[in-house]
Amino acid sequence: RRSSPSRRRIVEWMRDTSEGRPTQFGLWFVAEPDAIGADRVYQGDEELGSGRGGRFQPYLIHDGRLARFEKLPADITSEPRYRRAREGGRPAVTPPYRAFVGGRERRLISIAVPVWNGGRLLGVAGTDFELGSPASELRRVRPLGGRTTAIGPDGDWLYHPDGGLIGMPAAPGDPQIGLTPAQMAAIRAARPDISDVTVEGQVMRRFIQPFDVGLTGKKVVLVTDIPLQALNLPVRELRY
């Protein structure tokens, strides 16, 4: 079985990664209890044992300056950004949500992946992206070099990299997005979906995630593409 990396090594990798990606707001890792060293040894250490009882759950945020540590909520294991990947056992994307981080409330989207080591779950690694005006700010959300687009309740593009298509119906055959008939069926049904696609020669993991628009009963669908090679990077880095 592969040996687990040290807590210090993971924190250093997170700092280097966060400072190299200023559009990435937050980077976090929630380890399983005692998965990377005995938790009790690290009680009171703000970087290496910030969770309850010394559990390893570092969180780095980057809000325009250098990356700095922030405490994850005490109930992080009950939040969707953690639970979707932990319980599903595969990468997951959240719909936009609000969280109090860095001294103020922010609107975020999170992407999380479970990290395994020889069949043993080490924990869940996640990335947070901050949104301003949801549609216009999506152009800034480039998860691990990918992109996020949005489709409104009526099936029209709320955000598309080709501004001329905003407000036009989403349909299969778009050369930039490449929606398949099966993906369009998931979008029309407002049903979550995960699949792999090849866009402009690059293999992407595509996440289709609907979310409610207030109390209207309507749903907006986010289509998030992440390069498959980049998505696997956190797993490789944390395992070796």
> In terms of C-beta distances under 8 Å and separation of at least 24 residues, what long-range contacts does 101-108 make, across chains too?
101/26, 101/61, 101/70, 101/128, 102/61, 102/63, 102/70, 106/25, 106/130, 107/131, 107/132, 107/134, 108/25, 108/26
Q: Residue 168's pLDDT is what?
A: 86
Q: Residue 56's pLDDT is what?
A: 93
Q: Residue 198's pLDDT is what?
A: 86
Per-residue pLDDT tens, the chain, 240 aa: give them: 445 578 988 888 888 877 766 567 888 999 999 998 899 999 888 778 878 889 999 998 876 666 788 888 888 999 988 998 899 888 887 777 788 888 888 878 788 889 888 788 999 998 887 765 455 556 666 667 788 888 887 788 878 888 788 778 898 878 788 899 999 999 999 899 999 988 778 888 999 988 876 555 678 888 988 888 776 665 555 554
Q: Residue 33's pLDDT is what?
A: 93
Q: Residue 133's pLDDT is what?
A: 46
Q: Residue 50's pLDDT is what?
A: 78
CB atoms within 10 A of CB 39: 20
